[in-house]
């Protein structure tokens, strides 16, 4: 694997030291809000709606992306890609997502194609991640009203602003997407459906039916899900995915879920999750004969104390489903935003808890049943955190404390109880606050 990444790294370097195929060939588009980015790392930007219905490829080729592409071609690092520069600067041996994404199967041949006409504004994405709605039943701690209707509802309740919970109707972005869809279909290599919670979205089901009823598509179908929705939605979705696969309408199906902890801390981080249902769904999907499955571990400040237990829970499922032909793995990624949940902004004492958890997992790869890919990914995030020892941001730690205090009030929770691995941190913030009170007149 690292040979392949090294080869890609060299090929990218021949164009420029910061060239990335994803800037051209990868798109994440949130149709409900009219926002998008190239991959999920750069900040979202608004997609201008002018001329969109006439030229739906402008959903992808926005001025902001065109500017970043120009910078990459000129050997300059677009600021919005700071996630990758952080990984690359942490250790020259680290492969950032720039290299990992550029060497993915969907990116094959793209570099050559881009080189022929790099500033063509009609560039087609090969990997498209799209959401139709923010309808979601969870209120994850690092999510918010823009991506979760449950969050928006809570926000509306607490601010009294009903507009925060205006349900989406079809808009110019969704209309442009459907216009673009016949052209996209034969060109995509990966289509990833996201949300909100996509299993709840009627547009997602319309799209799946369209694939099932049409000619075979050339792309892999990836479906994000929190796997904690009422059974009728998961049954309906799995049924149509199964028919798509068995009728050879799509070459590959994968379900991508998210989790990074267990027990009370998992339930706090992913507020509203039915943990038992989540693990039951993971086990059941693992037994199916038509789809790969991965769990994105969004590594955030609150998840650091339970990492081993989480990896062990996944290992148990792997043991119970040994011999299954389809892939199943954990994909760890460091959360960047909001910054108060970013491990890199944490004091060293807490960073070291995380580094230790990683060490313990990596020491016993047999017990945790890790694949080479999982080992490499965990080593990379550990190295990045190691490289940031000595750098912490007190304001972010204080903001985290205040944020959790507010969530506790709103949701009747107790973060001190649920994150006791961070007890020293809570005490430290409390003493900062106390000293401030003493100092004020």
Residues that bind ligand SF4 (CB under 6 A): 20, 22-23, 38-39, 41-42, 81, 83-84, 97-98, 101
Task: Look at residues 193, 54, 189 and name the one whose alpha carbon lies nearest to residue 132.
Answer: 193
Q: How far apart are CA 22 and CA 125, in angstroms?
A: 9
Residues in the chain: 441
Q: How far apart are CA 319 and CA 333, in angstroms?
A: 24
Q: Which is nearer to ligand SF4, 61 or 133 (CB)?
A: 61
Q: Which is nearer to ligand SF4, 80 or 418 (CB)?
A: 80
Among all chains, which residue has been given the structure tokens 């808009």?
171
Q: How far apart are CA 110 and CA 102, in angstroms?
A: 9
Closest separation in Å from C-beta 78 to ligand SF4: 7
Closest separation in Å from C-beta 383 to ligand SF4: 17
**Is the alpha carbon torsion for 203, 204, 205, 209 positive or negative?**
positive
Closest separation in Å from C-beta 86 to ligand SF4: 10
Closest separation in Å from C-beta 82 to ligand SF4: 8
Closest separation in Å from C-beta 322 to ligand SF4: 34
Q: Which is nearer to ligand SF4, 20 or 200 (CB)?
A: 20
Closest separation in Å from C-beta 245 to ligand SF4: 29
Residue 303 has which token pair?
A: 């998840």
Residue 301, helix vs strand vs coil: helix
Closest separation in Å from C-beta 69 to ligand SF4: 10
Contact 281, 234 (CB under 8 A): yes
Closest separation in Å from C-beta 276 to ligand SF4: 35
Q: Which is nearer to ligand SF4, 42 or 145 (CB)?
A: 42
Q: Which is nearer to ligand SF4, 98 or 270 (CB)?
A: 98
Q: Which is nearer to ligand SF4, 124 or 314 (CB)?
A: 124
Q: How far apart are CA 225 and CA 208, in angstroms?
A: 15
Task: Look at residues 257, 274, 138 and name the one whose alpha carbon lies nearest to residue 192.
Answer: 257
Residue 76's CB: how many other CB atoms inside 10 A? 13
Contact 91, 154 (CB under 8 A): no
Closest separation in Å from C-beta 140 to ligand SF4: 22
Q: Which is nearer to ligand SF4, 39 or 293 (CB)?
A: 39
Q: Which is nearer to ligand SF4, 129 or 396 (CB)?
A: 129
Closest separation in Å from C-beta 51 to ligand SF4: 24
Q: How far apart are CA 181 and CA 190, in angstroms?
A: 13
Q: Which is nearer to ligand SF4, 25 or 220 (CB)?
A: 25
Among all chains, which residue has been given the structure tokens 């199916």?
288
Contact 102, 111 (CB under 8 A): yes
Residue 113's CB: how many other CB atoms inside 10 A? 16
Residue 327 has which token pair?
A: 């892939």
Q: Which is nearer to ligand SF4, 125 or 145 (CB)?
A: 125
Closest separation in Å from C-beta 152 to ligand SF4: 27
Residue 245's CB: how many other CB atoms inside 10 A? 18
Beta-sheet pairing, 328-334 with 292-299:
parallel
Q: How far apart are CA 68 and CA 21, in angstroms?
A: 12
Rounded-to-10 torsion of CA 224, 227, 228, 232: 100
Q: Which is nearer to ligand SF4, 93 or 434 (CB)?
A: 93
Structural Rg of the chain based on CA atoms:
22
């Amino acid at each position: 694997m690292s040979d392949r990444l090294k080869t890609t790294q060299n090929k990218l370097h021949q164009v420029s030291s910061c060239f990335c195929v994803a800037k051209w060939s990868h798109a994440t588009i949130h149709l409900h809000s009219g926002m998008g980015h190239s991959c999920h790392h750069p900040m979202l930007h608004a997609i201008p709606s002018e001329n969109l219905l006439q030229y739906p490829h402008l959903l992808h080729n926005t001025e902001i992306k065109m500017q970043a592409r120009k910078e990459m071609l000129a050997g300059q690092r677009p600021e919005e890609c700071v996630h990758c520069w952080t990984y690359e600067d942490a250790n020259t041996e680290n492969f950032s997502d720039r290299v990992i994404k550029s060497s993915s199967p969907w990116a094959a041949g793209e570099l050559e194609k881009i080189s022929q006409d790099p500033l063509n504004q009609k560039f087609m994405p090969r990997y498209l991640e799209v959401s139709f709605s923010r309808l979601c039943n969870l209120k994850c701690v690092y999510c918010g009203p823009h991506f979760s209707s449950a969050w928006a509802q809570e926000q509306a309740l607490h601010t009294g602003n009903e507009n925060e919970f205006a349900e989406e109707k079809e808009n110019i972005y969704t209309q442009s997407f459907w216009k673009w869809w016949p052209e996209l279909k034969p060109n995509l290599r990966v289509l990833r459906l996201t949300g909100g919670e996509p299993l709840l979205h009627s547009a997602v089901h319309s799209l799946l039916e369209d694939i099932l009823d049409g000619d075979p598509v050339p792309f892999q179908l990836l479906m994000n899900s929190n796997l904690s929705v009422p059974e009728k939605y998961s049954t309906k979705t799995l049924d149509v995915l199964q028919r798509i696969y068995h009728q050879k309408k799509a070459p590959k199906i994968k379900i991508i879920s998210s989790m990074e902890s267990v027990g009370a801390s998992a339930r706090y981080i992913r507020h509203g999750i039915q943990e038992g249902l989540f693990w039951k769904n993971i086990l059941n999907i693992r037994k199916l004969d038509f789809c790969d499955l991965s769990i994105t571990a969004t590594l955030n400040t609150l998840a650091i104390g339970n990492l081993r237990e989480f990896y062990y829970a996944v290992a148990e499922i792997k043991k119970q489903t040994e011999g299954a032909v389809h892939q199943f793995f954990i994909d760890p990624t460091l959360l960047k935003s909001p910054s108060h949940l970013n491990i890199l902004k944490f004091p060293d004492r807490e960073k070291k808890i995380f580094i230790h958890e990683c060490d313990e997992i990596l020491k016993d790869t047999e017990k945790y049943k890790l694949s080479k890919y999982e080992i490499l990914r965990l080593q990379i995030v550990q190295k990045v955190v190691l490289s940031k020892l000595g750098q912490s941001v007190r304001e972010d730690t204080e903001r985290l404390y205040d944020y959790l205090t507010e969530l506790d009030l709103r949701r009747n929770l107790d973060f001190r109880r649920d994150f006791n691995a961070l007890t020293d941190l809570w005490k430290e913030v409390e003493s900062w606050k106390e000293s401030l009170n003493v100092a004020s007149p």
